[in-house]
Amino acid sequence: MNNILVTGAGGQLGSELKRLERNYPNYNIFFTDKSELDITDHNNVKKFLKKNNINFIINCAAYTQVEKAEFEAELANKINHLAVANIAHLARQKNIKLVHISTDYVFDGNTKNPYLENDETKPLSVYGKTKLDGELAIKKINPKNSIVLRTSWLYSKSGKNFYSTMIRLSRANDHINVVSDQTGSPTNAKDLATIILKILPKIDNSSVEIYHYSNEGACSWYDFAKKIFESNRIDVILKAVKSTDYSDRVKRPIYSVLNTSLIKNKFDIKIPNWEDSLENDS
């Protein structure tokens, strides 16, 4: 029996992992959120790992409020960086496999080609910087059999994300403005959760490895919104606007498409197109 700790279980990825648990009878999964396990507390995490004989950790916990992070840099750093270092140290000490979820926001978006895992990182925001610092901490500590899994534009039917925001806005508005000059790849949280649970036993490496996972294809936020409304048969008028039309205090990557060839080849997996995944999940 594999005993797995999932942190940040109340988020959209953690919720999808919980829904899939029944499909994996060999996994005994402990789902925790910040009220149940403070991942910044070394001793508490150490006791939890020992008590439950944990073999794997899937770290979904993160500070993800991109705009708010600009004003709460210390808290964002504590969760996205220091807590990650804490988990990595314990994973190394106890020989626990670690899967850490990171983000496309570690890149600046100044490219026209899908990002490879070893491309230069250059975050534009506090959120992106703290997530990158978390990655660097894991690489430095270097727990065996551990990976950093970067993803992009994560969404699900539950939780706070672009998908749920569009559905909510459509119920109160006939017209909705959506940015059309930022390009990325939407990632269905259920697809990502499925892949994580599938590859977990196959992770076997002496040094930390980085992989990219998102659904295939690319689109703008405007295209994504249009598909969401089409899939849910919602009649609403969409207007394409530029990023500069918003008084957003945070710089975001204009282009953050991730190249997923490495994870597909390494673990022999297929990744569905974002449009197909959205349609099938609607």
**Terminal-residue alpha carbon distance, the chain:** 34
Structure tokens of 54? Answer: 């944990």
CB 214 within 8 Å of CB 278: no
Closest of 137, 151, 122 to residue 81, by C-alpha: 137
CA–CA distance, 85 with 192 (Å, rounded to integer):
23
Cβ neighbours for 144, distance < 8 A, ≥ 6 positions apart: 92, 95, 205, 206
Residues annotated catalytic, as ranges: 127
Burial class (CB in 10 A: 0-12, 13-18, 19+), 242: exposed
Annotate the chain with three-state secondary structure: CEEEEEECCCCHHHHHHHHHHHHCCCEEEEECCCCCCCCCCHHHHHHHHHHCCCCEEEECCCCCCHHHHCCCHHHHHHHHHHHHHHHHHHHHHHCCEEEEEEEHHHCCCCCCCCECCCCCCCCCCHHHHHHHHHHHHHHHHCCCCEEEEEECCEECCCCCCHHHHHHHHHHHCCEEEEECCCEECCEEHHHHHHHHHHHHHHCCCCCCEEEECCCECCEEHHHHHHHHHHHCCCCCEEEEECHHHCCCCCCCCCECCECCHHHHHHHCCCCCEHHHHHHHHC
Model pTM above 0.85: yes
pLDDT at position 247: 63
Q: Tell me, what's the pLDDT at 246?
A: 72
Q: What is the pLDDT of residue 253?
A: 92
pLDDT in tens, 215-238: 999 999 999 999 999 988 988 888
| pLDDT for position 282 | 60
d(CA 79, CA 67): 16
Q: What is the DSSP letter of 78?
A: I
Taking a C-beta distance cutoff of 8 angstroms, is the pair 92, 141 a contact?
yes
Cα–Cα distance, 11 to 18 (Å, whole number): 10
CA atoms of 125 and 122, how far apart (whole Å):
9
What's the pLDDT score for residue 1? 74
**Domains in the chain and their CATH numbers?**
2-159+185-218+253-274 (3.40.50.720)
6 has which bridge partners?
31, 58
Tell me the pLDDT of the chain (282 aa) as tens digits.
799 999 999 999 999 999 999 999 999 999 999 889 999 999 999 999 999 999 999 999 999 999 999 999 999 999 999 999 999 999 999 999 999 999 999 999 999 999 999 999 999 999 999 999 999 999 999 999 999 999 999 999 877 898 988 888 888 888 888 989 899 999 999 999 999 999 999 999 999 999 999 999 999 999 999 999 998 898 888 898 888 777 667 889 999 999 999 999 999 999 999 999 998 876
Extract the tokens encoding 197.
């649970």
